[in-house]
Amino acid sequence: MDKVHGQQGSPHGEHPAFGPRWWEQHYQGHAGTPGSPSPQLVAELTGFPVGSALDAGCGRGADALWLARQGWQVTAVDVSATAVRDAKDLAARQEPDVASRVSWLVADLTTWEPPEQYDLVLSQYVHPTMPFSEFVARLAQAVAPGGTLLVVGHAPGDEHSAAHAPEQASIGLDAVTGSLSTELWRVDVAECRTRQVGHGSTGMSIQDLVVRAHRRPA
C-alpha cells in the first residue's frame, strides 16, 4: 500500500518530488504486486452503506478493488499511467461483477476536476505538489452532502517515513481538519495509529494519521 517507502537511492532526483514524472519513475522502477488493501480503509469502511466512491491516488488498485468487492461503484484516479495499467491488469483477474464496478483514470489530482460528487472520497498516502490543506479542500468539494471523506497519511512522528521518504511525505492533523469548516463537516475520527508491517524477515511499526469526516446533509 505504501507509495513512498524504499525511495532512498532511487533516480527520483531527476524530477521534483511527487510530480507526475516522479511518480511515473517510481512505478516503472518498483515493479510489484498491489498488496493488500489499507488496514485503515478496512477498519473505517467495513459495513459502511455503499454508493459511489472516488479513490484519489489509487496506485496499483488494491483499495479500489476492495471497495468494489463491498459493492461500491468506484472511480479510481492516479497520476501514473504505469500504476493505472497495473491496476487494470489486476482488475481483469477479478470476478466480472467486481471489475465492472471500477472506472480507471490517469489524471493529476492537483488540476483534475471531478465530473460529479461522490458518497465517499478517499485519499491514502498521497503526496501532492501543492499545500496539503489546499489538496484536502479540493477533495472535500468532491464529497456529496451526507457523504464521507477519508484521508490517511504518514504521521509527522513516523520515523520510518522520515528516514526513507522526502520530507513532505508526512501530513499534519491541522492540514486536514483545518480545511473542513464546522458548518459543513463533522469530524468523526482524527487520530494517529500504529500499524505493523513486514520488512524482510522482521517487522516494523508505521504511524498513520487517520481522518474520517462526514459532510452534513444539505
User: What does each of the 218 residues of the chain score in pLDDT, given as a tens digit?
Assistant: 345 433 333 444 455 566 667 667 766 766 666 678 999 999 999 999 999 999 999 999 999 999 999 999 999 999 999 999 999 999 999 999 999 999 999 999 999 999 999 999 999 998 888 889 999 999 999 999 999 999 999 887 655 554 444 455 568 889 899 999 999 999 999 999 988 776 556 667 888 999 999 999 98
Helix (H, G, I), strand (E, B) or coil at 98: helix
Whole-model pTM? 0.83
Compute the residue count for the chain: 218
Whether 119 and 54 have beta carbons less than 8 Å apart is answered as no
Q: Which helix (H) or strand (E) holds 214?
A: strand 202-215
Q: Pick from 42, 25, 14: which is nearest to 212 by CA? A: 42
For 117, half-sphere exposure in the C-beta direction (CA atoms, 13 angstrom radius) is 13
Q: Which domains does the chain have, with CATH numbers?
A: 11-215 (3.40.50.150)
What pairs with residue 195 in β-bridges?
Answer: 206
